[in-house]
Amino acid sequence: MTVFDVEKLREDFPILQKKINGKPIVYFDNACMSLRPRQVVEAIEDYYYNYPACGSRSVHKLGRMATEKYHESRQTISKFIGAKKDEELIFTRNTTEGINLVANSLGLKKGDVVLITDKEHNSNLLPWQILAERVGITYRVVHFSGDMTFSMENFEKSMDRSVKLVSMAHTSNLDGYTIPAGDLIKAAHDFGSLVMLDAAQSVPHKEVDVRKLDVDFLAFSGHKMLGPSGTGALYVKSSLQDRLSPFIVGGDTVKNTTLTSYELEKPPEKFEAGLQDYAGAIGFAAAARYLERVGRKDIEKHESKLNMHLTSEMSQFEGLRIIGPSHPELRGGIISFTVEGIDPHTIAMILDENANVMVRSGQHCVHSWFNEFGIPGSVRLSFYLYNTMDEAHIFFDELKRIITGLR
C-alpha cells in the first residue's frame, strides 16, 4: 500500500519548487485548475517527440502508435470512473462541452422539464436557459436547505413524469458540498427521468463509480485533476448512446458518405468530430494513473483535514462568514468566505502580492446564486493533494494581517 506523503508528492510538481520574490508559491486555486506533475508533462512530450501523428486514419507506424495510445487513454479514464465499457467514454474539451453535448443531443422538446439546483455552475445553467428560449423546455430549480445541504424534500416536490432529465453538480465549486447522488438518482429513475452529474469537482477528489451510482451521464474535466487544459470526458451509459444525436459532425464521425447520404460511426467515435487532441488525451490518462497511485480516498481525507484546521482558525474573525454547511467535513476541499467591509478581490490581491498565496475571488461562475442572495462575491480557497499545513499557516497569518490592517 502506498503511504500518502505530501512532501514526497510535491517533488513531482516543479512549479512548487520555485520561489517568487524569495517566497514559496502557495497555490489554493485548484477548483479552477490544478497544477500538473512531471509525469503528465512527460506523457504529453512523449507524444510530440516520438509519435506526433494522426490517430485513427493513418496506417503507418507513427499513426498506429498514436491510435494505440489514444485507445489506451480511453481505457484508462473509463476504468478510472468505473465504466463498464471503454466505448461509454467520449473525449471532450471539458465538462462544459460534455453538458452541452447532452443538452443539444438528447432531443428535448417543448414541455420537457430539466431539474437543476440553485447552486449550479453557469455551465449547467446556461444550456437549459438557452434551450428554454429556443425549444421551449422548462427548467425547474431545486433550492438547497437553509443550512446549504441538499433537500430531498424539495427535490421530491419538484419531480413528476414531465421531468426528462435531472442535471446537477455532484460537488459544488462554490462551497465543496457533495449532494447525495445515489439517493437522488434512484428517486429520479423511479419517475422515469434520466440523470446527469456535473462531476468536475468530484472526480478529481473522491472515488466516483458510475456503475454503483447508476448515473446516466457524467461530465468531468482533465484540467481539474492534474491533466492538460482543453481535455475532458463525458460518460454515457451504453444503453442510452443511441438516444443521442451528435450535434458536431465531420471527419471521424462517419464510416462513409455520398453526396446525398451518410453512415455514422458507432459511439464514441460518432461524437468525436475532427482530429482529436491525442497529446491531451494521453496526458489526461497519465493524470488518472497518477491519482490512482496516490489514492483518492487519501486525497479526500487530506483535503478535509486542511479544511477543518482552517475553518477552526478562521472562526476567530468577527465578520468573516464561510459559505456553505457549517461542518467543514461537508465542504470537502473548498472554503469560500466573505469578510464584512472588505472586498474579496482586495483580499485576493493582497494575499498574492504579499505572500504568493493564490486564491480565487469573485462569483466563481455561480453568478445566479450570488445574485439571488445579494452577495457581491467571495474569496475561495480550494485544496489538492500537494497542499500542506504549512501553506495553511502562511495563508492564515497573512489573512490575519489583512483583516487587522483594513479595519
Active site (catalytic) residues: 365
3-class SS at 288?
helix
- Strands 334-339, 320-323: pairing is antiparallel
Q: Give the Å distances, CA to CA, from 166 to 92, 155, 192, 248, 374.
A: 21, 10, 11, 23, 27
Q: What angle do CA 151, 156, 160 make, to 5 degrees?
A: 150
Cell of 325: 454547511
CA 276/CA 55 separation, integer angstroms: 8
Q: Where are the beta strands (DSSP E) in 240-294?
A: 254-257, 262-264
Residue 334's beta-bridge partner residues? 382
3-class SS at 146?
coil
Q: H/E/C letters for each residue in 189-205?
A: HHCCCEEEEECCCCCCC
Answer whether the bond into residue 14 is a cis peptide, omega within 30°: no
Q: With CA atoms as reference, report the closest residue to 217 among 166, 260, 267, 171.
A: 166
